[in-house]
Structure formats: structure tokens, C-alpha cells
Amino acid sequence: MTLVLWLIAVVLVIVGIVNLIRGQMLWGILLIVLGLLVGPGGVSIFT
């Protein structure tokens, strides 16, 4: 389960960075923060 949460967090952060590059600041920041919340290395909202 930890591996799945880590992969989801990585995907969310990467998509957030891509959105920042494309100029969609709000979605980019939102996805990066969500990725940090989901990730097992940070504050996980699922545990």
C-alpha cells in the first residue's frame, strides 16, 4: 500500500510541475500540495 501511495504522490507532483510550466498556476500548486499530502514521506492523509 505504501508503494501505491508513493507512486500516486509522484504522479501528482509531476503533473503539478507540468501544469506550472504550462502556465496553470492554481492547478499546478494544488496538485503539488495534494501530492505532498498523499505521499508516505510527508503527511499522509490516508494513515
pLDDT tens digit sequence for 8-27: 888 999 999 999 999 999 99
43 within domain boundaries: no
| pLDDT at 16 (0 to 100) | 93
Domain that holds residue 31: 2-38
34 within domain boundaries: yes
6 within domain boundaries: yes
Note whether 5 and 37 are within 8 A (CB): no
Q: Which helix (H) or strand (E) holds 45?
A: none
45 within domain boundaries: no
Give how many domains the chain has, as a whole number.
1
pLDDT class of 2 with cuts at 50, 70, 90: confident
pLDDT tens digit sequence for 30-45: 999 988 888 766 665 5
30 within domain boundaries: yes
* Cα gap 17→22, rounded to integer Å: 9
46 within domain boundaries: no
